[in-house]
Structure 1
Amino acid sequence: MLLLIDAGNTRVKWALPDEQAVPDTRLSAWLRMESLAHDALDTVLADWQTLPVSRVLISNVAGDVVQQAIEQRLAQAFPALSPVRFRSTACVAGMENHYRFPEKLGSDRFATAIGARALYPQQELLIATCGTATTVDIVSSAGHFEGGMILPGLKLMAESLAKQTAQLPQVAESIQVSQPFADNTDQAIVSGCIHAQTGAILQALQAREQQTGQPVRCLISGGAAPYLLPHLQGKAEAIPSLVLTGLRVVAQSHPELFQQ
């Protein structure tokens, strides 16, 4: 059994893929999937100890402390296993990494690109991942990671103005695209943050379509995706867990990673 771990800046997701199923956007491709905060990592040990795991693949962008915490729990649950750390390189699973320094690309962004490409092969893709930061990345129809942009995430933008961030979801849902100009400060801040995020995504989408002369499929993922999706004018579709999907593709494409 394969255990996949996606350690992001605020949460850790882990999943068990159904290795007999074709990767798709539905939960049917997964036997189990969980998400927890960094400070709740102790709770995974009881779950992991019951699983017949034979391989582990980790993407971690949360730093050494989180990596060490994950590895400690893995060592307790599966003492005979050596987990594999996924890192960005020049080419993995058929995806060419055109970052100037390929190894500097965040492993989550590269895994996301690989996952999106597996779901929508031979298509021009724009992938917006909306979490602590928002990244907007391009994958060409030829399977090349072309690069992208990084901006503060929706919550981080709102927090920088110190206004009602605890109520961000409720306020965000009340904003209408047709009425972007709010008559109170809290909604004005959230409206500005939402339209800054969606404006960046839509501008990138338009720029890529003009650059290539081809239609571009826009995918959105991440914790803030539900709040941004209604404001993207029907030009994006939500796809969950793209990092885990990409890790699954990597594991299937490169069994040599797990050779001791």
Structure 2
Amino acid sequence: MNLLVDFGNTRLKWAIWTGGKRSMGGVFAHADTSLETALSANWSALQRPQEILVASVVKPEREQELATLVESLFNQEASFVRSPRAALGVTNAYRSDPARLGVDRFLALAALHADKPRAQILISCGTALTLDALAADGNHLGGLIAPSPMLMRQSLGRATAQVGESQGTLVDIASNTIDAAWSGCLLAAVALVERFRETVSRRLDTDVAMVGDGGGLDEWLPLMPDVERGRDLVLRGLALWAAEESS
């Protein structure tokens, strides 16, 4: 069995994969939590994994905290995956420095490509909103990074005196500050996605599918009903990586 960990900016997700199937797992927000406290209760009961693979986008000191915990619990090292030039049928657009592409983005693209090779856009919405374009042959064209609607609202709340983070109602033209901020941040994200889709569609000269993943996606997914909902794409990509290594 393999222990797979998706260590994001806001949440840590983990799963056990055996024989190509997920058997158990969990997720929690880790920003203000000790990893040892959050994970020891679950992981201490696990059998020693064959391999522990981590996709991380957090700071090095946070990675070290996880590495130390893994060493103490399983007496083995965690393997932190970095984005390669090419793997799993996907060619990285970051040619000169492939590791600079967030490994979560690369692995999610690999999962999408393995599931259905086609022209498609990956929308990932957590702390950040990332967009990545993938051709049917697995060539990654590149992407964009912007604040998620949640991060936009937090920034407004910190930088302005009278615009907070309160939940509002989505409207096209707002008549109060709460709805104006709530709607503006959501619609800004949608406008960026729509523009990106038009650009990618023109470049590839074909219709482009869109798949979204991430905890921040659900609040604005109803605005784009043609976006397919992805699930656990990073963990699925890690499972593919583990299978490739074992073969």
Name the counterpart of 1:185. Answer: 177
How far apart are residue 74 of structure 1 and its match?
A: 0.8
TM-score by length of 2: 0.91
Name the counterpart of 1:246. Answer: 237
How far apart are residue 18 of structure 1 and its match?
A: 4.4
Instruction: For 1:205 and 1:113, locate their aligned partners in 2 and report how far apart those are by CA, in whole Å.
Output: 16
Structure 2 gaps of 5+ residues are 158-162
Name the counterpart of 2:160. Answer: none
Name the counterpart of 2:88. Answer: 93
Seq. identity, %? 29
AA aligned to 2:9 is N
Name the counterpart of 1:4. Answer: 4
Name the counterpart of 1:201. Answer: 193
How far apart are residue 239 of structure 1 and its match?
A: 0.8
Instruction: For 1:99 and 1:146, locate their aligned partners in 2 and report how far apart those are by CA, in whole Å.
Output: 9
- Match for residue 211 of structure 1 among 203, 207, 215: 203
- Match for residue 160 of structure 1 among 155, 160, 164: 155
Instruction: Identify the structure with the greater helix proportion.
Output: 1
Instruction: For 2:156 and 2:43, locate their aligned partners in 1 and report how far apart those are by CA, in whole Å.
Output: 40
Name the counterpart of 1:141. Answer: 136
How far apart are residue 33 of structure 1 and its match?
A: 2.4
AA aligned to 2:4 is L
How far apart are residue 59 of structure 1 and its match?
A: 0.8
- Is the 1:93–1:254 contact (alpha carbons within 8 Å) kept by the matching residues of 2? no
How far apart are residue 58 of structure 1 and its match?
A: 0.4
How far apart are residue 40 of structure 1 and its match?
A: 4.2
1:127-147 superposed Cα distances (whole Å, 9 cap, x missing partner): 010011100001110011211
How far apart are residue 67 of structure 1 and its match?
A: 0.6
1:3-31 superposed Cα distances (whole Å, 9 cap, x missing partner): 1011111111111124244xxxxxxxx21
Runs of 4+ in 1 over 2 A off after TM superposition: 17-21
What SS does structure 1 have at the residue aligned with 2:133? strand
Instruction: For 2:226 and 2:197, locate their aligned partners in 1 and report how far apart those are by CA, in whole Å.
Output: 9
- Is the 1:131–1:154 contact (alpha carbons within 8 Å) kept by the matching residues of 2? no
- Match for residue 32 of structure 1 among 24, 47, 60: 24
What SS does structure 2 have at the residue aligned with 1:227? coil
Q: Aligned-pair RMSD on alpha carbons? A: 1.5
Structure 1 gaps of 5+ residues are 22-29
TM-score by length of 1: 0.86
What SS does structure 2 have at the residue aligned with 1:137? strand
Aligned residues: 237
What SS does structure 1 have at the residue aligned with 2:220? helix
Structure 1's 150 and 185: CA in aligned 2 closer, same or farther, altered over 3 A?
same
1:221 is the counterpart of 2:213: yes
What SS does structure 2 have at the residue aligned with 1:203? helix
- Is the 1:18–1:31 contact (alpha carbons within 8 Å) kept by the matching residues of 2? yes
Please, which moves more after superposition, 4-13 or 156-165?
156-165
AA aligned to 2:5 is I
